[in-house]
Copies of this chain bind each other. A is one copy, B any other.
Amino acid sequence: MTLPEDDLQPAPSRRELNKAATRQAISAAVLTAIRVQGPGNFTVEDIAQAAGISRRTFFNYFSSTEDALSAITIGFLDNVLQQFRLRPAGEPVLESAQAALMSLADPMTIAPLAELFGIVSEHPGLLRTELEAWDQCTEQIIQAVSERVATGHAQPLDDLHVRALGGSLMACGKAAMDVWFARCGKDFSRDSLSTLRGLLIESMHLLDTGFAVPERHATLP
């Protein structure tokens, strides 16, 4: 009963599935622990138990609970970048970015990220960790963009171009989350998360059009 498998990914092995499941179980457990008990009021032992693994295994995956928290953000970006890399090499970067976000079929994929965002806003002590994660994400975006422009263009773009673009992408993502959070608060429903995804795409689009004000140049022929 194997599906036709329209995609070209070679179907993740059981090993990979298990690891991914464990990673996300740990991250989810940390998120819950922070929500319920507050940051610093739980032990690695607690997390391991909630995630259904041993304490030792926790440390096989993460070096600290903060690390596990970062993984939520970085993990989400990984998914998006994976989609990004599947886009044709010749496609403009900003179009690929929007397409990658759109291809996240299930908007619930963003749920942990969104919840983390809300939690960080309540516990400023976590901001340091979150900023670190974003910084890592930025570097990964830059890396991905860099790979893209190396293959898809006649002459490779210079470093400033690539890094500015990467940084802006990340900044747009953050802006989208800020706006979403201000607008929807802690609503993690499917609809709300769909809105968030829409905002993310919209922010990329703004970047794409050079933040042009719609009224001035409505359309180009």
Contacts and interface: CB of A to CB of B under 8 A. Distances in A.
Interface of A: 1, 14, 17-18, 21, 46, 52-54
A48 to B, nearest CB: 8
A145 to B, nearest CB: 36
Contact of A54 (B14, B21, B46): B14
A14 B46 contact: no
Contact of A53 (B1, B14, B52, B53): B14
A52 B14 CA distance: 8
Nearest to A56: B14
A1 to B, nearest CB: 7
A19 to B, nearest CB: 13
Contacts of A46: 1
Contacts of A54: 14
Nearest to A53: B14
6 contacts: A1-B46, A14-B53, A14-B54, A17-B52, A18-B52, A21-B52
A57 B18 CA distance: 13
Contacts of A53: 14
Nearest to A46: B1
Contacts of A17: 52
A31 B39 CA distance: 42
A171 B70 CA distance: 58
Contacts of A52: 17-18, 21
A13 to B, nearest CB: 9
Ranked 6 nearest A-B pairs via Cβ: A14-B54, A1-B46, A14-B53, A17-B52, A21-B52, A18-B52
A17 B1 CA distance: 31
A14, A17, A53, A54: residue with the most chain B Cβ atoms closer than 10 Å:
A14
A21 B53 CA distance: 12
Nearest to A1: B46
A21 B21 CA distance: 15
A59 to B, nearest CB: 14
